[in-house]
Amino acid sequence: MKKLLIVGNWKMNLSVGQSSLLVARLDKHITAHRDIEVVLAPSMLALQPLAQQIDRRTFRLAAQNAYHIDEGPYTGEVSFAMLQDIVHYVIIGHSDRRHKFHESLDEIKLKMAAALRCDITPILCVGETKHEHTAGETMQVLHDQVVTALSDITAEEIERIVIAYEPIWALSSGTDYLHHEIPAPDKIAKISAAIQHHVAELYGGKAADGVRILYGGSANASTAGGLLDIAGIDGLLVGGASLNYKEFAGIVDAAHRSRKRQS
């Protein structure tokens, strides 16, 4: 059975001091479980101090982004190579980056390859806009996002990657995650199967089976259990609710219960 992955994407929130306080609170409320990985993605600035602070039996760290070239004249960027000893994971192609920072499919492809070269597990985010959703273009959009991002990856590397399905229309504003509309479970299951199918077409069924698929979009402590029980969903990418320690600890509790039900 694959390990469940619960990732908290703090986005551009919390100072270093606030980040440290949140970790201290999470540490009191979350217990380690061998079948569940709890990953925190704070700001770039907080990664180094949190790497010293976290209990590595309970938490792992992720970067929210990085640059694909190792070093050189790229003012303002931080490379995957620089993050190598600090993080286990990196979020790549989040819709904030695709849409607010105009990251292209090609850039995302380069980042995927760079992360794997630096031994950092990429969490590739894919998902359709509201407009694409209503126009019935979801499957085509996901196909293009998955196939381009994976095109420079070897068959050995593919089993290490994580893909997060994040419909952009279901993402919270950061605070309205308790009441936001999210896709029906059968839709999420169908999309997870389609993503698995695209990976299998490129690398074969065995490699595709190793890929973990997450759901992201307004997940919270009361919806987490149902989302984790969906066939083909191996974890959650959590934004707004990950900034509230009770809510995030509740999501991890739901993961514990989901694992118990499935074992």
Residue ranges in contact with ligand PGA by CB under 6 A: 9, 166, 171-172, 174, 177, 216-219, 237-241
- Kindly give, in sequence order, each residue whose CB lies less than 8 Å from that of residue 178, ignoring residues fewer than 6 positions away: 220, 222
Rounded Cα distance between 4 and 83, Å, is: 24
8 versus 58: smaller Cβ distance to ligand PGA: 8
Rounded Cα distance between 178 and 225, Å, is: 14
Question: To the nearest whole angstrom, how small is the minimum distance from the Cβ of residue 101 to ligand PGA?
Answer: 14
Question: To the nearest whole angstrom, how small is the minimum distance from the Cβ of residue 55 to ligand PGA?
Answer: 24
Question: To the nearest whole angstrom, how small is the minimum distance from the Cβ of residue 154 to ligand PGA?
Answer: 27
**DSSP secondary structure string for all residues of 99-141:** IIS---HHHHHHHHHHHHHTT-EEEEEE---HHHHHTT-HHHH
Question: Do 198 and 165 form a contact (C-beta atoms < 8 A)?
Answer: no
Question: To the nearest whole angstrom, how small is the minimum distance from the Cβ of residue 172 to ligand PGA?
Answer: 4
Angle at 99 between CA 237 and CA 215, to 5 degrees: 20
Rounded Cα distance between 178 and 164, Å, is: 20
Q: What are phi and psi of 39, to 5 degrees?
A: -120, 135
205: how many CB neighbours lie within 10 A of its CB?
Answer: 11
Residue nearest to ligand PGA (CB): 239
43 versus 172: smaller Cβ distance to ligand PGA: 172
For the CA atoms of the chain, what is the radius of gyration?
Answer: 17
The question of whether 166 is a catalytic residue gets the answer yes
Residue 60, classed as helix, strand or coil, is strand
Instruction: Please identify which of the residues 37, 68, 94, 247 carries the catalytic annotation.
Output: 94
Give the CB-side neighbour count of residue 60, counting CA atoms within 13 A: 17
13 versus 31: smaller Cβ distance to ligand PGA: 13
Instruction: Please identify which of the residues 37, 107, 157, 166 carries the catalytic annotation.
Output: 166
13 versus 18: smaller Cβ distance to ligand PGA: 13
What are the structure tokens assigned to 6, written together? 């619960």
116 versus 219: smaller Cβ distance to ligand PGA: 219
Question: To the nearest whole angstrom, how small is the minimum distance from the Cβ of residue 179 to ligand PGA?
Answer: 12
Question: To the nearest whole angstrom, how small is the minimum distance from the Cβ of residue 174 to ligand PGA?
Answer: 6
The residues assigned a catalytic role are 94, 166
